Amino acid sequence: MRATVLYAAGDVRVEDRPDPTVQAPTDAVVRVVRACVCGSDLHPYHSMPASEHGRTMGHEFVGVVEEVGADVTTVQRGDVVIAPFAWFDNTCEFCREGLTTSCLHGGFFSGTQAEAVRVPQADGTLVKAPVGEDSALLPSLLTLSDVLITGHHAAVTAGVDARTSVTVIGDGAVGLLAVMAAKRLGAEQIVLMGRHVARTDLGREFGATDVVAERGEEGVAKVLELTGGRGTHTVLECVGHLPAYEQAVGTVRAGGVISRVGVPQYESAPVGFDSLFGRNVTLTGGPGAQRPYIEELLPDVLEGRIEPGRVFDRTVGLDETPEAYRAMDQREALKVLVRP
C-alpha cells in the first residue's frame, strides 16, 4: 500500500509499504477512507532528525473494516468506523474510568495517512458510524478522531460551563473546535487568541465572542482588558509551544484552570509562586483520545447540531500529502483532508 513517511524535518514522502495484516486475534485491518494532517504532525515536520527508515505519519482516520481477527465481535467487514488517535481495550481499569489514553494495553496511532491501517484492540478502539463511505458527514466524523475530541477534552478538563469565561489560545483546528466545544458546554464569553483572520472568522462562527490577534504581553493585556483585569476562569491552550503556555499563565484568572491539549514542545515551564502557585491556578489537560467523548459527540455530528468538519479547507489525494504538510506549515491551509 501507499503510506506517508517522514524522513527528516521537511522531508515527507509517499511510498510503498507492506499491507497491514491481522497479527493478533483482537486486530482489525481498516481501509482508510479519509485521513488528514494534524497540527501536531507539524512538530516533527519542523524538528525530526534524519532517519534512515523514516516514520509513518498520521493518527486520524475514518475507514471501512476490511478484515477482523478471530476475537473481534463489535465490528465486521464493511462497517464504517472512526477511531480516536489511540487504541485501547476499553475494559482495563483506566478505560473503565474513561481515560482510554492510559489503557494498560493501548498505544497511539502513527501511520494513518495511508491506504490502510492495522487497528490493535479493535473492539475497544473502533466506533461504528451509521453512514455510508460516501457520506457528506465524513469530514465532521473525521474530527472525532482527534481535533474535536481534543478541543472537547480541553473544555471538559478545564471545567467549562455556563458560569466560566474562556480563553482559547491558538487558531488551528483544535483551537477552533475548542471554541465549539466551550460554546456547546454553555460558555458565554469565549476569547479566541489567533492572528489568522480567516481562521478567527470561523472561530467567531463557532462561538468566539472576542478575538485577540496580539500575542505575548500585548495579547495578555488585551484579554485582561476584556475581562475587567481578571483574566478568564479557564484557558484552553491549543498550541503546545512555551510562549502559548506563558500566554495561558498571563490570561488565567486567580483560582482558574489552564488546560493544555497542544502537545508540549518543552519539558520544563514556570509553575512557581508567580506563575501558578500564588494564585491557586490549576494546570490540567493531556491527550484527549478518550472513547466516551466520541460516543457523546457522535449524535451531535450525525444530527447536524455541530459541523466541526468545516475546519477542513483543502482536500488532497494520498500522493499529495507532502504538499498538505507544506500548505499547513505555511498557514495556506487550516487543515487538509486526505483521500487515499
> Does residue 271 touch a second copy according to CB under 8 A?
yes
> Does residue 277 touch a second copy according to CB under 8 A?
yes
> Does residue 263 touch a second copy according to CB under 8 A?
yes
Identify which of residues 28 and 257 has a Cβ nearer to a second copy in the complex. Answer: 257
Q: Which residues inside 78-107 make contact with a second copy, applying CB under 8 A?
A: 94, 97, 99, 101-102
Provide the b/e sequence for 174-190 (b: ≥16 CB within 10 Å): bbbbbbbbbbbbebebb
Which one of 16, 52, 134, 267 is in contact with a second copy (CB under 8 A)?
A: 267
Look at residues 147, 138, 143 and name the one whose alpha carbon lies nearest to residue 287: 147
Q: Which residues inside 165-224 make contact with a second copy, applying CB under 8 A?
A: none
Which H or E element spans position 46?
helix 42-47
Give the CA radius of gyration of the chain. Answer: 20
Q: Is residue 11 exposed (0-12), middle (13-18) or buried (19+ Cβ within 10 Å)?
A: middle
* Maximum Cα interatomic distance, the chain, rounded to a whole number of Å: 61
> Does residue 280 touch a second copy according to CB under 8 A?
yes
- With cell 506549515, the residue in question is 329
3-state secondary structure (DSSP) of residue 76: coil
Identify which of residues 25 and 107 has a Cβ nearer to a second copy in the complex. Answer: 107
Of the ranges 28-36, 137-145, 285-293, 313-321, which one interacts with a second copy (CB under 8 A)?
285-293
Phi, psi of 245 (to 5 degrees): -60, -45
Are 178 and 159 a contacting pair, CB within 8 Å?
Answer: no
Pattern 134-173, a second copy, x by CB under 8 A: -----------------------x----------------
Amino acid at residue number 160: V
Number of residues that bind a second copy (CB under 8 A): 33
> Does residue 48 touch a second copy according to CB under 8 A?
no
Which one of 219, 287, 309, 340 is in contact with a second copy (CB under 8 A)?
A: 287
Positions in the binding site for a second copy (CB under 8 A): 94, 97, 99, 101-102, 157, 254-255, 260, 263-264, 266-287
